Amino acid sequence: MKATTLAMAALAACAVLAGCSHTPKSHTEASDKDESTFTYLLERQSKWTENKLDALPPLPQSANLLPFEVSQNTPLRFAVDAKSIDVGSDGVVRYTIVVTSPSGAQNINYEGIRCDNYEWRQYAGLNADHNGWDSSVATRWRRIENGDLNAYQATLYKDYFCANKLPAASAKTIVNNIRYGRTAASLIH
């Protein structure tokens, strides 16, 4: 009886495995797609299109600046303009950054962080007359650097702007999180 049961189980297993075997397609059925590579649905790369930037925000006012910590080892101070933060339907969080040196010199840029692939780009910088934007300094998308003392894009990405490769929240929530120092790590506890 035991031998019969084992033989039946073996035959059933062979039948299942035979049903799972792969039969190569004929040349007329073959496709150009390599079926041996499996891709999870959420990892599939769809064709991404960046939203068109119709207008640049007004230059930042000091009353609207929200300071945030990047590193205790850098003498620079960092702040984003609360009025400029925009969460786009393309998954890009756009913002104006103000970087201030110990002597008071400022670097002001309008930038975007793309949450799905850990990249950033600059759209414009403060012009030489300090009265408007200069779009000629715009850059292409590039990888966010983590190791620099002044890697504020990495801080914004990880602590405030992005979670699970998506924008972390609405612009209003992001502004409040920066204003009250609620980083992604502090929200877990």
pLDDT at 159: 94
pLDDT of residue 182: 87
User: How deeply is 142 buried, as exposed, middle or buried, from its count of CB atoms within 10 A (0-12, 13-18, 19+)?
Assistant: exposed
- Whether residue 25 is predicted with pLDDT greater than 50 in this model: the reply is no
Share of the chain above pLDDT 70, in %: 73
Average confidence (pLDDT) over 135-148: 91
> What class, spelled out in words, does domain 62-188 have in CATH?
mainly beta
> At 38, which amino acid appears?
F
Query: Residue 52 above 50 pLDDT?
Result: yes
Residue that wins the pLDDT comparison between 158 and 18:
158
Q: Using one digit for the tens of pLDDT, what is the confidence trace for 73-85?
A: 889 999 999 999 9
User: What's the pLDDT score for residue 24?
Assistant: 45
> pLDDT tens for residues 110-135?
999 999 999 999 999 999 999 999 99
pLDDT at site 72: 86
pLDDT for the residue 114: 97
Query: Which pair of tokens denotes residue 59?
Result: 């230059």
What is the 3-class SS of the chain, one letter each residue?
CHHHHHHHHHHHHHHHHHHHCCCCCCCCCCCCCCCCCCCCHHHCCCCCCCCCCCCCCCCCCHHHEEEECCCCCCCCEEEEEHHHCEECCCCEEEEEEEEECCCCCEEEEEEEEECCCCEEEEEEEECCCCCCEEHHHCCCCEECCCCCCCCHHHHHHHHHHEECCEECCCHHHHHHHHHCCCCHHHHHC
Tell me, yes or no, if the pTM score tops 0.75.
no
pLDDT band at residue 184 under the 50/70/90 scheme: confident
